[in-house]
Amino acid sequence: MKKASLREAYGRTLVELGRENKDIVVLDADLSGSTKTQMFAKEFPERFFNIGIAEQDMIGTAAGLAVAGKIPFASTFAIFATGRAWEQIRQSVAYAKLNVKIVASHGGITVGDDGGSHQAVEDVGLMRILPNMTVIVPADAIEMAQVIRTVAAYNGPVYVRSARIDFPVIYEGTDYKFQIGKGNILREGNDITIMAMGLMVHFALEAASLLSLQGIESRVVNMSTIKPIDRQLILNSARKTGMILTVEEHLVTGGLGSAVCEVVAEEYPVPVKRIGIKDRFGISGKPDKLLSYFHLTPQDIVAEAKQLLNSKPRLLRAVG
Amino acid sequence: MDFIRNIDCLRQIAREVRKDILTMLNKAGSGHTGGSLSAVELLTALFFAKLRHDPQKPCWKDRDRFILSKGHAAPVLYAILARCGYFEREELLHLRELGSRLQGHPDSKFTPGVEVPTGSLGQGLSMANGIALAARLDGLSTRVYVLLGDGEVQEGQVWEAAMTAGHYKLDNVCAILDNNGLQIDGWVKDVKNVEPLAPKWEAFGWAVLEIDGHNFGEILSALDKAEEIKGKPTIIIAHTVKGKGVSFFENKAKYHGVAPTNEELERALKELENA
Ligand SMILES: Cc1ncc(C[n+]2csc(CCOP(=O)(O)OP(=O)(O)O)c2C)c(N)n1
Ligand SMILES: [Mg+2]
């Protein structure tokens, strides 16, 4: 299985954008080697600003650059971007409705050895609750490159989450075109819908293959835009399969699962089961070990899917 | 706008601005009196004698920018923007009302002449730096002015931004510190001392000028001088009096965040008239 780095896709795309548009500027907070903004810094040193270990100041500076008509991309690890600088993002970016792109690496537990202090499990929630903010979690390096191009052309605040580890490539050789606010159906099925974000999209596809061997056909959706969420597709899936399983490398509160529940609860109640991290922080370990530990493997998705399918009649009685 | 350099004229404007501030705060029934009054001369000098801006074209690209980092002093900014012609003075009487363009704290989404939203202290200097960096990239002659409170500089982000401006040698940034000695809970020196200020800013790579922030002669010459200083940002530490111009508001922490009552307004307007 081919894997590719989302961070490198980001760095490469920034360089391309930098060549095309002199208003693209990039900021980092002493992590340009990790976030790959260094690639841009090498080619455009005059348009790269290392603000040092000062995330709040980095966000404020990016806001100022946007006020003056630049298109700033600000990068650091997800937890520092959305945690340390949350209120700066709220006031100086979202409230001001400024054209700032916050692209953070190291989302989720697959950060690995560094441990819970460095694993953002709440970043999507922190960004999703902010008015004016768009939140995107790409599923592979190809989508990442498309997302970066798309958000550069979109006028408004955006948060993009990537990861430390390489992701399996999903979209190679397809004519997929990322659109803000549109989920992407990767596999069709009538029995259950599995909606996922980020790395979990690939796992959902693997789970769907395993389920298919057992005669269960799943619709698999890459819900890369968490906000604005694709209500249409959620409701269509709820009607079609009567139940939804969400999968995210994030707390089950605040992220994709919550967003899906909000839509179905208000408009077309069907059973939803949220797979993700349950009210706890991350810990040190190798990414694959951690994924097993947190029950975020294709096998876990299969088990949860079957449980949800088994409970369908009972749940439907409850709803009906 | 054409510059007014005549000090008597500027004094006249300052007196009218003070009246507007007190009147609008009284009408609104809430808001920040002390920190608005301490900055009247600073903002009057800036907007009428220094800032290259055009109320008819608020988005003119090459304009100088002003950021009220101590956003709670919105009334002084609004009073001055109105007097410059960004909107009618009548609108001041709708401060803080539902549907008004004049929000409790400055909001660039609504108010012409307001560059960025502020109100959460400590964030203005970072944004000023961003605008200054962009101006440098674009080869614009824009200068960026930012007004800080002396309590505000207790915020860590201010010093992150101070370091950034020093590092990038942003000589198109001019900070002004409204050094009125008071914050909400009392004297700054008692709550958490921020002195010595000048050596701190110097150590961060800034040029420091110290003035009487109510003396137009000193303000104008400091603003002129700041423009001549190359290779580093400048901060003007302006010694001011919180509540300045109304004897019974002066130097009282209590009047940081309360509006004048009807009776106080009447007395204050009389006092200003006779000053
Ligand atoms: C981040 C933040 N914390 C607290 C406040 C509440 N607050 C509003 S004004 C103020 C005191 C400001 O003192 P100073 O900067 O000296 O302003 P001035 O004396 O000029 O009014 C405080 C604590 C705020 N607006 N923002
Ligand atoms: Mg003060």
Structural domain boundaries in chain A: 3-168, 184-319
Question: Any CB–CB contact under 8 A between B215 and chain A?
Answer: no
Task: Going residue by residue through chain A, which has 320 residues, state the pLDDT in tens, using 9 for 90 and above.
Answer: 899 999 999 999 999 999 999 999 999 999 999 999 999 999 999 999 999 999 999 999 999 999 999 999 999 999 999 999 999 999 999 999 999 999 999 999 999 999 999 999 999 999 999 999 999 999 999 999 999 999 999 999 999 999 999 999 999 999 999 999 999 999 999 999 999 999 999 999 999 999 999 999 999 999 999 999 999 999 999 999 999 999 999 999 999 999 999 999 999 999 999 999 999 999 999 999 999 999 999 999 999 999 999 986 655 555 54
Question: Any CB–CB contact under 8 A between A62 and chain B?
Answer: yes
Identity of the residue in B120, B134, B167 whose CB atom sits nearest the CB atom of A68: B134
Query: Å from A44 to nearest chain B CA?
Result: 12
In chain A, residues with a C-beta closer than 8 Å to the C-beta of B131 are 64-65, 67-68
Identity of the residue in B120, B135, B161 whose CB atom sits nearest the CB atom of A57: B161
Residues A208, A218: contact at Cβ < 8 Å? yes
Nearest CA to ligand 1 atom 17: B149
Output the CA B155–ligand 1 centroid distance in Å: 10
In a domain, B175, yes or no: yes
CATH code of A3-168, in short, is: 3.40.50.970
The number of distinct structural domains making up chain B is 1
**Would you call the peptide bond into A228 cis, given omega within 30 degrees of 0 as the criterion?**
yes
Nearest CA to ligand 1 atom 21: B35
Question: Any CB–CB contact under 8 A between A67 and chain B?
Answer: yes
DSSP string, chain B: ------HHHHHHHHHHHHHHHHHHHHHHT-S--HHHHTTHHHHHHHHHHT----TT-TT-TT--EEEESSGGGHHHHHHHHHHHTSS-GGGGGGTT-TT-SS-SS--TTT-TT--S---STT-HHHHHHHHHHHHHHHT----EEEEEETTGGGSHHHHHHHHHHHHTT-TTEEEEEEE-SB-SSSBHHHHH----HHHHHHHTT-EEEEEETT-HHHHHHHHHHHHH--SS-EEEEEE--TTTTSTTTTT-GGGSS-PPPHHHHHHHHHHHHH-
Q: Which pLDDT value is given to residue A315?
A: 57
In a domain, B143, yes or no: yes
In a domain, B142, yes or no: yes
Identify the nearest ligand to the CA of B249 by its number. 1
Identity of the residue in B119, B142, B157 whose CB atom sits nearest the CB atom of A60: B157
Task: Indicate yes or no: CB of B123 within 8 angstroms of CB of A92.
Answer: yes
* Whether A55 is catalytic: yes
Identify the nearest ligand to the CA of B180 by its number. 2
In chain B, residues with a C-beta closer than 8 Å to the C-beta of A72 are 130
Q: Which pLDDT value is given to residue B275?
A: 87
In chain A, residues with a C-beta closer than 8 Å to the C-beta of B205 are none
Q: Tell me which of B59, B127, B157 to substitute to probe the interface with A (most A C-beta atoms closer than 10 Å).
A: B127
Task: Going residue by residue through chain B, which has 275 residues, state the pLDDT in tens, using 9 for 90 and above.
Answer: 899 999 999 999 999 999 999 999 999 999 999 999 999 999 999 999 999 999 999 999 999 999 999 999 999 999 999 999 999 999 999 999 999 999 999 999 999 999 999 999 999 999 999 999 999 999 999 999 999 999 999 999 999 999 999 999 999 999 999 999 999 999 999 989 999 999 999 999 999 999 999 999 999 999 999 999 999 999 999 999 999 999 999 999 999 999 999 999 999 999 999 98
In chain A, residues with a C-beta closer than 8 Å to the C-beta of B160 are 51-52, 54, 56-57
In a domain, B259, yes or no: yes
Domain that includes residue B263, residue range: 7-273
Provide ipTM, 2 decimals: 0.84
Q: Which pLDDT value is given to residue A318?
A: 52
Residue with tokens 């440098």: B136
Q: Tell me which of B105, B115, B133 to substitute to probe the interface with A (most A C-beta atoms closer than 10 Å).
A: B133
Identity of the residue in A56, A68, A91 whose CB atom sits nearest the CB atom of B160: A56
Task: Indicate yes or no: CB of B120 within 8 angstroms of CB of A87.
Answer: yes
Query: Å from B161 to nearest chain A CA?
Result: 6
Task: Indicate yes or no: CB of B123 within 8 angstroms of CB of A49.
Answer: no
In a domain, B1, yes or no: no
In CATH terms, are A3-168 and A184-319 the same topology?
yes
Which residues form the pocket of ligand 1, taking CB atoms under 6 Å from any ligand atom? B 34-35, 38, 70, 72, 119-122, 149-152, 178, 180, 182-184, 242, 256
Which CATH topology does A184-319 take?
Rossmann fold (3.40.50)
Task: Indicate yes or no: CB of B135 within 8 angstroms of CB of A68.
Answer: yes
Whichever domain contains B228, its CATH number is 3.40.50.970
Q: Can you tell me which atom of ligand 1 is nearest the CA of B184?
A: 11
Query: Å from B215 to nearest chain A CA?
Result: 31
